[in-house]
């Protein structure tokens, strides 16, 4: 998993960078192939903002979160991106291969 963390009009400390990378590692469990993740952290007084773009198999998923602290915004962003990845993974599954009365011979 490739994670890029950068700030908009703010300096990213090592503590923020390591916390963000640690939380975002959770997203890697959904796919076997590598995914790219870009996280932008910013301050929109009095709130803190975190935005994330995930590039998965040619698809770009976006989420943003605002909170009273930067760590809370990162946690909210991680939860939102996790839900987006689960939803994207469910869409990739072919739902037409399930049980069907025509296929198993019980129709008619």
Identify whether 12 is part of a domain: yes
Q: What is the CATH number of the domain that holds 61?
A: 3.30.160.100
Identify whether 34 is part of a domain: yes
State residue 101's pLDDT score: 61
Encode pLDDT of 62-77 as tens digits.
999 999 999 999 999 9
Identify whether 99 is part of a domain: no
> Burial letters for 7-25: b for 16+ Cβ neighbours within 10 Å, e otherwise?
beeeeeeeebbebbeebbe
Identify whether 107 is part of a domain: no
pTM: 0.82
DSSP at 58: T
CB of 19 closer than 8 Å to CB of 74: yes
17: which 2 tokens?
Answer: 């960078």
pLDDT band at 29 (very low <50, low <70, confident <90, very high): confident
């Amino acid at each position: 998993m490739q994670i890029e963390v950068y700030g908009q009009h703010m300096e990213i400390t090592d503590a923020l960078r390591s916390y963000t990378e640690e939380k975002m590692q959770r997203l890697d469990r959904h796919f076997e192939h590598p995914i790219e993740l870009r996280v932008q952290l910013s301050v929109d007084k009095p709130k803190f903002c975190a935005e994330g773009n995930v590039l998965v198999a040619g698809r770009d998923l976006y989420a943003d979160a605002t909170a009273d602290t930067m760590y809370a915004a990162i946690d909210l962003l991680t939860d939102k991106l996790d839900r987006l990845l689960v939803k994207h993974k469910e869409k990739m599954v072919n739902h037409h291969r399930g049980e069907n009365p025509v296929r198993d011979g019980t129709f008619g």
